[in-house]
Amino acid sequence: MANMGVISALAGRGDTIFSDRLNHASIIDGCLLSRARIRRYPHGDTEALAEQLAGTEGHKVVVTDGVFSMDGDLAPLAELARLCRTHDALLVVDDAHGFGVLGDGGRGSLSACGLGQEDVPVVIGTLGKAFGTSGAFVAGSSLMMDYLVQKARTYIYTTSMPPAIAAASTASIRMAMAADDRRAHLRNLIDRFRREAQAMGYALMPSDTPIQPILIGGAAEAMALSRGLEGHGIWVTAIRPPTVPQGESRLRVTLSAAHTEAHLDRLLQALAVCRQEIGLTAA
């Protein structure tokens, strides 16, 4: 709802929104609600985006995920910020999967890329996921926030957050900012998972975040592997079309700081056994 409200408040009829082809469904819905012209650019392709921006007049908004939810990769934020400055476009980043796990003090994708408010004027995040409560937020300049308070319909026409959730969220953010030791542990889990899963022959997508997709290809094979892991007491969701393109079905492994080395041992052992049981070929 935050994405829908913010994006539809920042663009309207006669404007143009440039959206990464792999953006989250809520971003897509926000673009559609705005009634602006929508131009999708190939995933992470800043050269294609530059051509689109150069050939467009009027108010322009570029919107992207910080960390992409199905691939786990990071948007080229520094180059996107440069392009938006060059072409007088407003850059909006949804960093739902970046906050808490990336950057200094868990400040997210912008921090990890060394960017600030002058580079990315609008950042959207969730209080779920890393923060473990409920709701969402948008950050930007005071003027921008005043504007959104008046114009974002999903903010105006809804019930305010319960005080208990606000208090819990505030406490959770403080805890996350001080959790560098847990982020270091999570980093070690990610590195070990990638190293050992690839050594087994699994095809991993180029992700350095806690979202670690195992690319399988066929939907039936992805479901078979998911069911095999479930038989070992491990739940890893199979992601299939239409969520991902045909031929790109995958298992979406999502690691967290709450996982232990023993948990990862169990996952890796089960992946090795299930690979043989279902007869997956080498990547």
Instruction: Report d(CA 89, CA 102) in Å as an integer.
Output: 26
Q: Which two tokens stand for residue 72?
A: 């786990």
Say which of 26, 34, 69, 109 is annotated catalytic: 69
CA separation, residue 8 to residues 12, 28, 53, 127, 154 (Å) = 7, 11, 19, 21, 10
What DSSP line would sit under 6-74, residue for residue? HHHHH--TT-EEEEETT--HHHHHHHHHHT-EEEEE-TT-HHHHHHHHHT--S-EEEEEESB-TTT-PB
72 torsion bin: left (phi>0), alpha (psi -120 to 50), beta (else): left
Instruction: Report d(CA 42, CA 22) in Å as an integer.
Output: 8
- Burial code (b: 16+ CB inside 10 Å, e: under 16) for 20-51 equals bebbbebbbebbebbebbebbbeebebebbbe
Say which of 8, 24, 34, 97 is annotated catalytic: 97
Instruction: Report d(CA 120, CA 85) in Å as an integer.
Output: 10
Q: Is 151 labeled as catalytic in the residue annotation?
A: no
Question: How far does CA 211 lie from the centroid of its chain?
Answer: 9
Q: Is 97 labeled as catalytic in the residue annotation?
A: yes
Max distance between CA atoms of the chain, in angstroms, equals: 59
Say which of 26, 60, 129, 226 is annotated catalytic: 129
Cβ atoms within 10 Å of 144's Cβ, excluding its own: 17
Residues found in the chain: 283
Q: Is 129 labeled as catalytic in the residue annotation?
A: yes
Do the bridges between strand 249-254 and strand 238-239 make them parallel or antiparallel, or are there none, so unpaired? Answer: antiparallel
Question: How far does CA 17 lie from the centroid of its chain?
Answer: 19
Residues marked active site are found at 69, 97, 129
